[in-house]
Amino acid sequence: MNSLIGKKIGFALCGSFCMFKKIFPAIEKLMSEGAEVFPIMSHHASSIDTRFGKAKDFVNQLEQMTGHEVQTTIAQTEQIGPHKPYDILVVAPCTGNTLAKLAHAITDTSVLMAIKATLRNEYPVVLAVSTNDGLGLNLRNVGILKNIPNIYFVPLGQDNYVTKVNSMVAKMDMLYDTVIEALNHKQIQPVLLQYDV
């Protein structure tokens, strides 16, 4: 029996656009194991075209994959609190901007509202970090969030220590295992890895 059969997963994307190509296989894995996935995107993630692709194409792909409309507003994700539609929330990629705001209780995007609403219900939140300053200014925020109940990290490491010495990225191929552990209120270990690009 698959571990995720019947599970409902909120899946939020922030604007680390270079990671989007790794996100879709992770979503497919969750769905192949029986989960129903409900997509959420920050305003920037859902509206900015970059060299990695057009925003509308990513939105369309998410909606076609999951069969659900992408939520992009605070008004939409605020409803997670009272209605408890998901068993767990995944934020992947989770940018340094989102990390910093979350660590300081700022709720000004759809993704941050989704996190706040999920934590209100004492349900697990999984963060898959992707930030160029994970070992810089954002290191303190990783430390803060690591000690908050119901927040779990996908294992992460330095993805390019030669040219981006402070950059840290989650191992997206470990997202599924992290979700399984988080649903059991456990942090997968080890959290810090040697990261081979």
- At residue 150's C-alpha, the angle toward residues 157 and 84, to 5°, is 125
Let me know: does 183 contact 6? Beta carbons within 8 Å.
Answer: no
Q: Where are the domains of the chain?
A: 8-183
Supply the pLDDT for residue 1.
45
DSSP 26: H
| Fold of the CATH domain 8-183 | Rossmann fold (3.40.50)
Q: pTM of the full predicted structure?
A: 0.95
Q: Kindly give the confidence (pLDDT) of every residue in the chain, 197 residues in length, as a single tens digit, with 9 standing for 90 and above.
A: 458 999 999 999 998 898 999 999 999 999 999 999 999 999 999 999 999 999 999 999 999 999 999 999 999 999 999 999 999 999 999 999 999 999 999 999 999 999 999 999 999 999 999 999 999 999 999 999 999 999 999 999 998 888 889 999 999 999 999 999 999 999 999 999 876 54
